[in-house]
Amino acid sequence: MVKRVLVINGPNLNMLGIREPKTYGTQTLAEIDAMCLAEGKRLKLQVECRQTNREGEICEWIQAAYGKKDGIVLNPAGYSHTSVAIRDAISAVGLPLIEVHLSNIHAREQFRHFSYVSAVATGVICGLGAAGYRLALEALAERLAA
Ligand code: DQA
């Protein structure tokens, strides 16, 4: 059975390419999504990519993934540092989830050092730029095959 993975990108990540390129790189979200789809093909995963600027929509997508997806890659962006609701949605569905950040949040402002999501994530990747998504898919593929 092909494993199904949902890649969710949170607020302001639709601005990649324009947004603070020194911090987030020059790749657009469309380019990152294309890379995730290509990596999915290589790993024999069925990958779907979505982006929203709304916290509630992220909660709804995580809830809807229950029984429909086998794993999630999530960059909660700014909500990482504020959202109990997203963390609760992740706990509610119990799906393997890899948290990804393009930048190294621990090397930045103090308020970015803590993520509500990390404690309920299967794993966390940060500071490796867009490659983080590729590595997250690889980690999920390995875990889902086990
Ligand atoms: C981010 C890091 C967050 O602190 C920030 O709010 C983002 C992007 C990252 O991918 O590095 O929007 O999640």
Q: Convert the pLDDT of each residue in 77-123 to its tens digit.
A: 999 999 999 999 999 999 999 999 999 999 999 999 999 999 999 99
- For the whole prediction, is pTM greater than 0.95? yes
Q: Measure 39 CA to ligand 1 centroid, in angstroms.
A: 22
Please tell me the predicted confidence (pLDDT) of residue 78: 98
Mean pLDDT throughout 38-58?
Answer: 98
Please tell me the predicted confidence (pLDDT) of residue 146: 87
Ligand 1: atom nearest CA of 79 is 6
Confidence at 57, pLDDT banded by 50, 70, 90: very high
> Of 8, 101, 122, 115, which is closest to residue 60 (Cα–Cα)?
8
The catalytically annotated residue of 66, 81, 101, 106 is: 101
Helices 55-64, 84-93: crossing angle, 10 deg rounding: 0
Do 44 and 141 contact (CB within 8 A), yes or no? Answer: yes
113 catalytic per annotation: no
Q: Measure 126 CA to ligand 1 centroid, in angstroms.
A: 9
The catalytically annotated residue of 24, 79, 116, 133 is: 24
